[in-house]
A and B are shown apart, each in its own frame.
Chain A
Amino acid sequence: MKWSLGTVFIVIMLLVIVFTGFAQENVTITVQDYFDPAKSMGKFIQERIVEFENNHPNVKINHTFIPFNQLLPTILQQSITKTVPEIIMVNNPNVSQLIKGGVLKDLTDKVKEWGWENWEDFIKGYRDNGSYDGKIYAFQITGNNLALFYRESLLNKAGIANPPETWQELKEQCKKIKELLDISPFAYDAEASDEGSFQFYPFLWSNGGSLLELDQPEAIEALQFLTDMFKEGYIPRDVLNITSQGDLTPWFINGDVAFMINGCWEFGWHLTEDVMQQLGDVKVTSIPVQEKGIRPIVAFGGECYGISSNIDPAKYDAAWEFLEILLSSDINLKINIDSASLPTRVSATEKILTEVPILEPFLEQSKYALPMALMGGMENYGEISSILWVAIQKAFTGVATPEEVFKEAAQTIKGIFSPEDYEMYKQVARELLQEASKK
Chain B
Amino acid sequence: MKAFSYKIYFFLIPVLVYQLIFGIYPLIYNLILSFKEVTLITYLGGGISQWIGLSNYLQILKDPVFQKAIFNTLIFTGLSLSFQFIIGFWLALLFNHTFPLKGLFQSLIMIPWVLPIMVSGSFFRWFFNDQGMANNFLLSWGFINKPIPWITSKIFPILSITAANIWLGIPFTFILLYTGLRAIPLELFESAEIDGANWWQKILYITVPLLKPVIITILTLGTILTVKAFDLIWIMTKGGPGDVSHLFTTLSYSLAFNKFHFGKASSLLVIMVLLVVGLTFLFNSTKVEEESSIE
Direct contact of A and B (CB under 8 A): yes
- Contact (Cβ within 8 A) A237 B259: no
Chain B residue contacts of A153, Cβ below 8 A: none
Please classify how large the interface on chain A is, using the bins under 10, 10 to 19, 20 to 34, 35 or more: 20 to 34
Alpha-carbon separation in the docked complex, A18 to B239 (Å) = 63
Q: A243's closest neighbor in chain B, by CB? A: B122
* Known contacts A79-B44, A100-B46; A73/B242 CB under 8 A: no
Contact of B242 among A101, A193, A397 (CB under 8 A): A397
- Contact (Cβ within 8 A) B40 A379: yes
| A311 CB–B CB distance under 8 Å | no
| B45 CB–A CB distance under 8 Å | yes
* Known contacts A79-B45, A238-B131; A397/B236 CB under 8 A: no
Chain B residue contacts of A390, Cβ below 8 A: 240, 242-243
* Known contacts A100-B40, A382-B258, A393-B242; A238/B152 CB under 8 A: yes
| A280 CB–B CB distance under 8 Å | no
B193-232 near A? 1/0 per residue, CB < 8 Å: 0000000000000000000000000000000000000000
From 116 to 158 in chain B, residues with beta carbon under 8 angstroms from any chain A beta carbon are: 122, 125, 129-132, 147, 149, 151-154
| A240 CB–B CB distance under 8 Å | yes
Alpha-carbon separation in the docked complex, A383 to B40 (Å) = 11
Total contacting residues, chain B, CB less than 8 A: 34
B35-61 near A? 1/0 per residue, CB < 8 Å: 000001101111000000000000000
| B252 CB–A CB distance under 8 Å | no
- Contact (Cβ within 8 A) A241 B259: no
Chain B residue contacts of A394, Cβ below 8 A: 241-242
- Contact (Cβ within 8 A) B129 A241: yes
Alpha-carbon separation in the docked complex, A396 to B241 (Å) = 9
Chain B residue contacts of A243, Cβ below 8 A: 122, 235
Alpha-carbon separation in the docked complex, A382 to B41 (Å) = 13
Chain B residue contacts of A386, Cβ below 8 A: 254, 258-259
Contact of A397 among B40, B132, B154, B254 (CB under 8 A): B154
- Contact (Cβ within 8 A) B45 A237: no
Q: A82's closest neighbor in chain B, by CB? A: B45
Chain A residue contacts of B240, Cβ below 8 A: 191-192, 240-241, 390, 393
From 39 to 98 in chain B, residues with beta carbon under 8 angstroms from any chain A beta carbon are: 40-41, 43-46
Alpha-carbon separation in the docked complex, A193 to B239 (Å) = 11
* Known contacts A383-B258, A390-B242; A100/B41 CB under 8 A: yes
Q: Chain A: residues with CB nearer than 8 A to chain B?
A: 72-73, 76, 79-80, 97, 100-103, 191-193, 236-238, 240-241, 243, 256, 379, 382-383, 385-386, 390, 393-394, 396-399
Q: Chain B: residues with CB nearer than 8 A to chain A?
A: 40-41, 43-46, 122, 125, 129-132, 147, 149, 151-154, 235-244, 254, 257-261
